[in-house]
Structure 1
């Protein structure tokens, strides 16, 4: 069970320490979050590449925090998140850009969470760089938006030559990917019907905005994969 940007449940701002803490409390197995780098080299948990008209990579961390506080929330660093989660929950880090792979791996190594972290990306080149930085980190290729499906098919063929541990797919493409001999983590499933369908297809992980709903369905129907 993977809490998409934490467990915000419509009341807590996503990708914040509060949302991450809530994911731990409700019993998620992983927290999924997005990693970007600010202009002054801080790794932050933030989804959108542009915030209030400004690109994250063009903002210093202090400037980003100031803008966020105007909206009533704070932006955690990757290090803040690792400190909160270490020994309590696993992490699924989506790298939104390249040129920060070594920095991400260094944070994971410093805090001893390499083996409990999945690093994912839409870009195979990013995952290759992560692998070069450390073979101890689990990597996941993200595929499946309609707009990029043809390009994704080419990526999938490359899985024979790329060291990828997990495929993170949009739920529409599960049947097309089941022939791959790698675990499938499916995003983003929030409806009862879709959750049940994915469980019936024996997927390996569910990425959801509603951890409590998904967990209840698993428990009620006794779907549980070790």
Structure 2
């Protein structure tokens, strides 16, 4: 369990969200979560839409100890050059429709660290086939497997101003997809204003601006 975060809610209690690897849990993870819920008397547990587990309703006096036990870092992930969430479907390892290993690619993206902060949180969706189970086109970074390879989109959003991500490239293998995601994020970090989500960035500058920057190295950051 990594990349844990905590959020204060309107009832003046806290929600802690232990980071999971794309919703995959081991027996050890389940046992640890069970022990923590018992130890800190967590009032509620919720499986989130982002393939994480939320520990709900923690009073302030229990928060610090649980944060320490979980190794909660300071600040949200994007301020440390990290991705906010990486969602992935079971992929070809566990699903008969899977064309590529979405979980393996997701694990590598979870480990990605840029050398600069990101302007805002970045969510990733990886779908191992064209059925798009992780709604990749509605994520900041979307990867969708096709018979020819990965299809990369950038600038999607599913909030109150939904937007489909723009296609950056298609027919990518794993290494090409990882490198192009890194270049897209570096370009976004260089060009976007603080707190501007990728969807608003793409609305402002357009897909050609991004593709020219990351595919032709025009103004791209390395």
Larger RCO (CA under 8 A, 6+ residues apart)? 1
What TM-score, normalized to structure 1?
0.29
Q: TM-score, normalised by structure 2?
A: 0.30
Structure exhibiting the larger radius of gyration computed from Cα positions: 2
